Amino acid sequence: MEHKDPGRLAPVLAMALFGLMLACVLGLMALGSGLYGGVTRSMTANNAARASLRYLTTSVRAADAENSLRLEDGPEGVMLVLAEPDSGYETRIYLWQEQLVEEYAPSGSEPSPENAQPVCACTRFDAQLQQRLLVLTTDQGTARVALRCEKGE
């Protein structure tokens, strides 16, 4: 039987095949990491949007009692006021310098944005009371809260 000599081309072809496989593996890793980064950014933005709207709806539901919720004029638009009649204090949620802020202050006092705590970055905040439905709108979307109390202020 005759044995064929692979010649000088075989090692070069083997190295070229190895390089091609290595390039494919590295390309797939780069593509996968790019896709993963895009998915994580999208998931983070979605969670942030849900968190701010969830914060608003949870705050309203916690304060849902007779004469405890009202809408007033705030420093930059509408201000949602959640009163605590027994304590004489109220929580105010309003827009201030592209931030949705929360302020806990004595009832009847003037809004003091410098003492307010930022909730999230936001350029739009609107609240409308339609009978027993409170519609809250921010940059992140709209939330509707069905109020259980019979009458608000």
- pTM for the full predicted model: 0.68
Whether residue 89 is predicted with pLDDT greater than 60 in this model: the reply is: yes
Tens digits of residue pLDDT in 106-148: 988 899 888 899 988 888 999 998 888 999 998 888 889 988 8
The C-alpha atoms of residue 134 and residue 118 are separated, in whole angstroms, by: 22
Q: Decide: 125 and 56 in contact? Cβ < 8 Å.
A: no
The C-alpha atoms of residue 151 and residue 153 are separated, in whole angstroms, by: 7
The C-alpha atoms of residue 39 and residue 33 are separated, in whole angstroms, by: 10
Residue with tokens 């350029």: 123
Q: Decide: 69 and 147 in contact? Cβ < 8 Å.
A: yes
